[in-house]
Every structure is written in structure tokens, then in C-alpha cells.
Amino acid sequence: MADRLVPVISLRDYESRKEEITKQLVEAAEFAGFFTLVDHGITVEEIEAEFAISKKFFELPFEVKGKTPHDTKTNNGWEYKVRCD
């Protein structure tokens, strides 16, 4: 099995490179399925804090998480079963 590389996409000079970055993001999502963003200006501490918040949420009981609003049109929120429609 061939190794697949995860594309690394820089957000440096985002405002002047929107079209180029958009193309890179679409290609990475379609062909690799994953990508790593760099030069985004978010600190490791901020990222770790967000993961900690996420971990706390997913540790909550189902009954509590189930009260979270879920919009199927925009596919955001939390739900127990995967929708395939």
C-alpha cells in the first residue's frame, strides 16, 4: 500500500491568496481527505483549550448532549445517529 501524504496548506497572506488557498483546500479535501493548515495565527495553547472544551462536551451524558440544537441543513450541532439522506 502506498503511503499518502497529508497536504500542508499555508494561510500566509490569506487576503491576497484566497483563490489559490481555496483551490488547495478543495483539492486536498477531494483527493487526500485531510490537510494540515499552517500560518493561521492560532497558538498551540488556544488549540489545546478548544480540544479540552470539546472533550468536556463529549464526556457529558447523552441526555445533556441531546439537548444541543442540531440543524440538519447546515450539518452542525450534535446528534447520536449518523444521517445519510
- Cα angle value 39/45/50 (rounded, 5°): 95
Span 2-39, pLDDT tens digits: 567 899 999 999 999 999 999 999 999 999 999 999 99
> Residues 40-56: what's their mean pLDDT?
96
Q: Rounded to an integer, what distance in angstroms lies between the CA atom of residue 9 and that of residue 21?
A: 7
Cell 489559490: give the residue: 20
52 — pLDDT class (breaks 50, 70, 90):
very high
Domain boundaries, the chain: 8-38
Look up the pTM and report it: 0.64
Cell numbers placing 48: 489545546
